Structure 1
Amino acid sequence: MTEYSTIQKSTTIAAAPTAILPRLTDFHRWVEWSPWEGLDPALERSYTGADNAVGAEYAWNGNRKAGAGTMRLEEVRDDSVNIALTFTRPFSSASRVRFNLTPSAAGTEVVWTMESPKTIGSRIFGLIMNMEKMIGSDLDKGLASLKRVVEGAA
């Protein structure tokens, strides 16, 4: 059985899930809020498949900081989005990404979860870098940006 490393962050956005969902399912809109935007001003992007639909893909190829990889929309529901995330550079890895959207009195609680299989390589890398801190801070930054974008548009 595969063992996974899980990183999870959340925020509350003063908006309905219907206002948030398109920013998660349309990869073109990730440039508005993604915590990794700006790592490479010359980043090469490509998009395939129908926007907002299962099977849509976003691929990027950038400098050492941005790396290269793909995201594929695996499942879209009114309350959640599942994405397959694959990095090809700076190292190969495959992760599962999930956004859960839960209505609350203050708007919508958005929970961003990333699960990655624990491999020999990831365990060695984990000895050098604190992945929870590194990826967790990126997820926090992305959720804060998503919150600003959505609430600013309301």
Structure 2
Amino acid sequence: MKKFLKILVAIITVLVIAMFVIGKKYHYEQSIVINAPIEKVWNNANSMKSFNQWNPWLKIDPAMKMEYFGNAGEVGDGYFWDSKNDDAGYGKQTILEISPMKKMKTEMKFIRPYEGEATSNLTFTTEGNATKVTWDMDTEMEYPMNIMKLFMDGHMEKSYSEGLNSLKKLSEN
């Protein structure tokens, strides 16, 4: 029993140290080059309705309820999503900043199953006749939930790859 307690204390100690070493801030980004003019790519991403044509998280629940608000493609354009599936949950995404054909910044508020906030940017740059799109996300995770950062890159890579590839397919057609 003493050996088990020593091992348990050692594991807890390592997790506590890891929590503080890892920190609270999390950043992820991924880019893709799309063989289409920037105007076409921009039009497929410059509003919440356009974004949701290729948003990978909407595939989690085809029956997800969506409610849009604001003026499409302007600051304040946003939507609420509500899913019975806890992988999608309930939340809100709103455009905070928009610089036509350059950048769109959004804020996401996650309400269910876990509360949280994040910001995300879509950045567009011309590369010859193609368009490079960089999609990023920033958030802070409170202790001890920040341990989950160790597993997030794999999940984010899968989702962002799926979304960016869908945007590429939509824009190149």
Contact 1:13 1:150 in 2 (8 A): yes
- Matches for 1:80-119 after TM superposition, within 5 Å: 80-119=103-142
Larger Rg: 2
Give distance in 2, aligned partners of 1:98 and 1:31. Answer: 15
Give distance in 2, aligned partners of 1:122 and 1:112. Answer: 24
- Normalised to the residue count of structure 1, the TM-score between the two structures is 0.89
Give distance in 2, aligned partners of 1:132 and 1:37. Answer: 19
- Matches for 1:49-60 after TM superposition, within 5 Å: 49-60=70-81
Identity over aligned pairs, percent = 25
C-alpha deviations, 1:58-116, integer Å up to 9, x for none?
11000222111111001111311100011111211101100110100251110000011
1:13 aligns with 2:34: yes
- Normalised to the residue count of structure 2, the TM-score between the two structures is 0.80
Corresponding residue of 1:24: 45
Structure 2: gaps of 5 or more residues: 1-22
- Name the CA shift for 1:72/1:31 in 2 (closer, same or farther; >3 Å): closer
| Structure showing the higher helix proportion among its residues | 2
- Number of residue pairs matched by the alignment: 149
Structure 1: gaps of 5 or more residues: none
Using the TM superposition, give the Cα deviation of residue 35 of structure 1 relative to its aligned residue in structure 2, in angstroms: 0.9
Using the TM superposition, give the Cα deviation of residue 9 of structure 1 relative to its aligned residue in structure 2, in angstroms: 0.4
Kindly report the root-mean-square deviation, in angstroms, between the aligned alpha carbons of the 2 structures: 1.7
Using the TM superposition, give the Cα deviation of residue 119 of structure 1 relative to its aligned residue in structure 2, in angstroms: 1.7
In the alignment, which of 68, 90, 93 is matched to residue 71 of structure 1?
A: 93
| Structure showing the higher strand proportion among its residues | 1
